[in-house]
Amino acid sequence: MTAVIIEDEIPAANRLQKLLISKEFEVLTTLHSVKNAIQWFKENNHPDCVFVDIKLRDGNCFEILDKITLKSKIIFTTAYNEFALNAFNYNSVDYLLKPIDEEKLDKLILKIETLRIGFQHEFSWKDFEQNDYQKIKNSFLVSSGSLLKKINDLDIICFYSDNNSTFLLNNVNRSFIVNKSLEKLEEELNPNLFFRINRKFIINKSYIQNVKNEYQKQIFLSIKTDFEFIISKLKVKAFLDWYKK
């Protein structure tokens, strides 16, 4: 997931950035004032999440939210709890008191993941009536030498990212470049068949041979490839719920 931090205390901003990166977030930028934040959101695509301090050097974050309609999930971070009620008027996901407790941050991220997975299955009746709602993608055209090769989703072991490129690995362990990000693939693939286990891999349930719980700390998947598949700790519960269906 992507994130933006709005925080005018540099040590607090740096600590939060390190925490988020360790939780597999991509932190796009850190903003330090109301003015800079408004300008940035006008000129850039909105991230999945915004972690925003309430009191900033040139005002408070509600001035930003009154001028910009954020398409992101909003998480307020502050040392003051008297703003909690007002914060929830802006459809925030949660409210974290500083200094941020890592265990509470983990619970928040699990909550965000749960919301995100649920939203992926929603569609509007307007889209349905217009016949332009998003359809599940069940095959891919890839380059194989000078030819184009069609690969069905049932024949794909996994998708993975490497050196800023995305690849699919088929059932005979051949890799092909796919011109889409893992984020985009998550939206298009059959959610009953595919699951993103971490920042690098989306795997196909059909090829999972075993699920190993290593010392009660990490979950490994046994699949006949040269890759090691380790499920992100924050996705273990969602993965197990998906896998047992």
- Tens digits of residue pLDDT in 114-144: 666 554 444 443 443 444 345 688 899 898 8
Q: Where are the domains of the chain?
A: 2-119, 139-243
pLDDT at 225 over 90: no
194 compared with 71, residue with greater pLDDT: 194
**Mean pLDDT of the region 228-241:** 86
Residue with tokens 């090769």: 149
Q: Identify any residues that bridge with 140 across adjacent strands, giving them in sequence order.
A: 151
Q: What is the pTM of this model?
A: 0.53
139-243 falls under which CATH superfamily?
A: LytTr DNA-binding domain (2.40.50.1020)
Q: H or E stretch including 106? A: helix 102-119
CA 173 to the chain's CA centroid: 27
The whole-number pLDDT of residue 115 equals 65
**What is the CATH code for 2-119?**
3.40.50.2300
User: Degrees (nearest 5) of the Cα angle 190, 167, 160?
Assistant: 70
Lowest mean pLDDT among 59-68, 146-155, 163-172, 217-226: 217-226
Instruction: List for the chain the helix, strand, coil content (%; round to 5).
Output: 35, 35, 35
The whole-number pLDDT of residue 82 equals 58
Mean per-residue pLDDT of the chain: 83
| Sheet hosting strand 92-97, strand order edge to edge | 26-31, 2-6, 49-53, 73-78, 92-97
The whole-number pLDDT of residue 208 equals 87
In this structure, are residues 63 and 43 in contact, taking their beta carbons and an 8 Å threshold? no
Percent of the chain whose pLDDT exceeds 70: 82
Q: Is residue 185 very low, low, confident or very high in pLDDT (cuts 50, 70, 90)? A: very high
The whole-number pLDDT of residue 119 equals 47
pLDDT at 215 over 90: no
The whole-number pLDDT of residue 121 equals 43
**Mean pLDDT of the region 197-226:** 78
Tokens of 166: 């995305």
Q: Phi and psi for 12 in degrees, rounded to 5? A: -65, -40
User: From start to end of 54-123, where are the E strands?
Assistant: 55-56, 59-60, 73-78, 92-97
**Mean pLDDT of the region 97-109:** 86
pLDDT at 97 over 90: no
The whole-number pLDDT of residue 123 equals 40
